[in-house]
Structure 1
């Protein structure tokens, strides 16, 4: 199906004429006229300047207005930097339980390029791929009902742009354990999930990206990055999670966002946006609109190694229990929001005060309620109150377990 979009450009250019009358109380008055109107022509004529413009609403007229807008935006924004997204497309994918409830994106790596379906993880830094496999997840599409092609295994030997990362490199965390600074740098990453890890050796190679924005046409970008050649995975990475690799989006120096910023391609930022279907987009260098709400990250044990925000209150309905604040890790690899036990108790206590349903005990979900229809429940609103009085409203705080049973 082909979708055709018609773009409508709203253009406004104006000349402000200001007259000042020196009278009691100083009265100021102004008139606003369009910069390319007949009245503006008369104004410039009175100043001794002959100005002519194309016929109104003609293509030439619109081009003139658009050109003027570009000039104004350059003055206002300066040399705005481009945005980057994977050459396979900015769309992220969500496969539910089939791939462990993670968000994924297709990326191209190396020369010639090979495609990989990597999980996105804001809670870690390294981009690793199955490579020279000793212990990896199956890559055949026959194991994954939603895939129509086999997944790839990264081969440094087949990429002419691949290079070993030596133990002397500043990004080699395990360098001090090497016998020689010229040795190939090993890596091991342990994840929050129990007994889940990836290990192997580090390589440098090229990530294929597409640029958009700034004032340039869409183009291709080859960005040097560091890749973990993951020869041995364990835990969840052998049972459905990230079978074709994982892209760490954390603030560490070895992450893709950090390396793109260090190379000067984009600012040190990225955006992950998801819709109700859980699919979305990823852009590197995206700082979002100026009017968006913001909350600063805070340090954890004096370091900014992860994305942590300060939650001042967890509010239920119109009530924000005292001492309900905590620090929270922003992690795209987690499906649920986990609270410290003491905060959880306070929130549940207040939640039950405002609910009009009978509580049920269901394995793994202690806060479930019985109702003939979810629409009949008086479900209190919930929100996180962050620093600077910014709030994050929790959409649909209840989900259905089974017919007539819902859980917080």
Structure 2
């Protein structure tokens, strides 16, 4: 009996170890707000907007408006993307389109690319064997502090590169190719018909960093991406000159491919802090500290991250009646917008409880107040999500500061046509948000975004090749994806010193949420 028990114990330990290994590695990337000082050197902009100024605010809101118009036009076709990189990510200035960027390494030998992070599309593409691309000379991006030119990918220069054939399952227009052995073409239309990338699909290795790896040795994972031979529109004028990293739910996105390969869990986390930076973790499925609410289908399918809000709560009283709505969680939108009828109830209650003198700061927000030079004491704001889970908004206000200190603040909330809200970065500040695609749930817990203490260990190396067509078709299993992260605004802390624009940091994290449709067409 003693021998039997010892054996059982040994087997149990092995089983536990096996389960732990199956959780997968956690891959991370640091993100920086597009208006932050860290990113100024990357922006190429001589006179960026002053932090917290009206011009700073105006540019964020203009970006939000463009995204909202795009979402209304593209609707359910909107896709989400995912970046997988263990390096720094930077938020850009005006010269680079106010997007967030991160360095990734592709190929053998590896070549580095500064790609824009976009959670609104699926495809990763980089300039490749260029016929019509943005200039890559460092002289065109003097503020980037580059010691060499931006890179261009070439299929002939990487020993691990191979074109994707038209016969591959992920070549959408394969049947339209003249031969199944031809290279699969692609065209992605962004935000406007004038901005696009086209070329051919390629398979190669992407170098990844693991937060759990005892060494600095990168993981290598086979991924699919676009060899971008021709760019148009904004991509020829300094926006994403070195490529775009998609974070979407489509099968061709980097996170989806990594998940199906079994490298990471099908989940990722995004964290925003108050300095315009943040953390991105791939494979992060949260911790016991997280609250959870289900992700909901949009137009009958899971094409984006949507949650249900049962009620909007303001101040100390009961939650407001008839304030339920569906909300898109969008890290690319700076300020939260809600349906008109909900907006009316919220601002009226906020105004009643604020009990402060109204002010006019010549901004789009209607409800602004004087604060007497002090850090404002404002009514609390909370969302009750499905499953009766409370999401307390840390910074629903935007603070204005002048030479003599704090001038006042506004409730940073706007209305939007239709019945679907957009939860922007100002509501996300101070949280580690988990997008658990495997279990179709969204989680959140308070965090300063400085570290990840709940990572899980996993395989020490990635699969040597992409999943087969049969594996691509197989549903369920251990497929895992990635995680997107960023930084968010945080609470105001002190009236002295730099303006504590909580919402500001809400930054408009990049990401062209405009890439809705990924079409593969003849180039």
TM-score by length of structure 2 reads 0.57
User: Residues of 2 paired with 1:238 and 1:381: CA distance?
Assistant: 45
Q: Which string of whole-angstrom CA distances, capped at 9 and with x for unpartnered residues, describes residues 278-330 of structure 1? A: 22222221212233122221111121122222222232224533232222222
Corresponding position: 1:392 with 2:391: yes
Report the aligned-residue RMSD: 3.2
Give how far 1:204 is off.
Answer: 1.0
114-123 or 194-203, which moves further after superposition? 194-203
**Residues 76 and 207 (structure 1 numbering): CA distance in 2 closer, same or farther, change over 3 Å?**
closer
Corresponding position: 1:84 with 2:81: no
| 2:114 counterpart residue number | 117
**Residues 288 and 277 (structure 1 numbering): CA distance in 2 closer, same or farther, change over 3 Å?**
same
User: Residues of 2 paired with 1:142 and 1:386: CA distance?
Assistant: 49
226-235 or 258-267, which moves further after superposition? 226-235
| 1:127 counterpart residue number | 124
| 1:74 counterpart residue number | 17
**Residues 311 and 121 (structure 1 numbering): CA distance in 2 closer, same or farther, change over 3 Å?**
farther
**Residues 321 and 196 (structure 1 numbering): CA distance in 2 closer, same or farther, change over 3 Å?**
farther
| 2:90 counterpart residue number | 93
Which structure is higher in RCO with an 8 Å CA cutoff and minimum separation 6? 2
CA contact (8 A) 1:123 1:330 kept: no
**Residues 75 and 231 (structure 1 numbering): CA distance in 2 closer, same or farther, change over 3 Å?**
closer
Corresponding position: 1:248 with 2:246: yes
Highest Rg: 1 or 2?
Answer: 1
CA contact (8 A) 1:201 1:230 kept: yes
| 2:187 counterpart residue number | 188
User: Residues of 1 paired with 2:399 and 2:134: CA distance?
Assistant: 32
Equivalent of 2:302 in 301, 304, 307: 304
SS in 2 for 1:358: coil
**Residues 114 and 371 (structure 1 numbering): CA distance in 2 closer, same or farther, change over 3 Å?**
same
Listed as ranges, the matches of 1:156-167 within 5 Å are: 156-167=155-166
Listed as ranges, the matches of 1:139-218 within 5 Å are: 139-144=136-141, 146-149=143-146, 150-192=149-191, 196-213=195-212
**Residues 294 and 234 (structure 1 numbering): CA distance in 2 closer, same or farther, change over 3 Å?**
farther
User: Residues of 2 paired with 1:298 and 1:204: CA distance?
Assistant: 32
CA contact (8 A) 2:359 2:370 kept: no
134-143 or 261-270, which moves further after superposition? 134-143
User: Residues of 1 paired with 2:237 and 2:408: CA distance?
Assistant: 30
User: Residues of 1 paired with 2:237 and 2:397: CA distance?
Assistant: 28
User: Going by fraction, where is strand more abundant, 1 or 2?
Assistant: 1
Give how far 1:82 is off.
Answer: 2.2
**Residues 265 and 326 (structure 1 numbering): CA distance in 2 closer, same or farther, change over 3 Å?**
same
User: Residues of 2 paired with 1:222 and 1:159: CA distance?
Assistant: 14
SS in 1 for 2:387: helix
Give how far 1:71 is off.
Answer: 8.3
| 2:457 counterpart residue number | none
195-204 or 292-301, which moves further after superposition? 195-204
Give how far 1:239 is off.
Answer: 4.7
User: Residues of 2 paired with 1:248 and 1:336: CA distance?
Assistant: 22
User: Residues of 1 paired with 2:210 and 2:375: CA distance?
Assistant: 49
| 1:266 counterpart residue number | 264
User: Residues of 1 paired with 2:232 and 2:274: CA distance?
Assistant: 32
User: Residues of 1 paired with 2:109 and 2:206: CA distance?
Assistant: 11
Give how far 1:146 is off.
Answer: 4.1
Q: Which string of whole-angstrom CA distances, capped at 9 and with x for unpartnered residues, describes residues 325-346 of structure 1? A: 2222223333332323343333
201-210 or 327-336, which moves further after superposition? 327-336
Stretches of structure 2 lacking an aligned partner (at least 5 in a row):
1-12, 30-83, 413-523
167-176 or 132-141, which moves further after superposition? 132-141
User: Residues of 2 paired with 1:130 and 1:341: CA distance?
Assistant: 42
Listed as ranges, the matches of 1:293-332 within 5 Å are: 293-318=291-316, 319-332=318-331
Give how far 1:173 is off.
Answer: 2.2
| 2:229 counterpart residue number | 231
| 2:362 counterpart residue number | 362
**Residues 399 and 126 (structure 1 numbering): CA distance in 2 closer, same or farther, change over 3 Å?**
same
| 2:100 counterpart residue number | 103
80-89 or 343-352, which moves further after superposition? 80-89
CA contact (8 A) 2:308 2:326 kept: yes
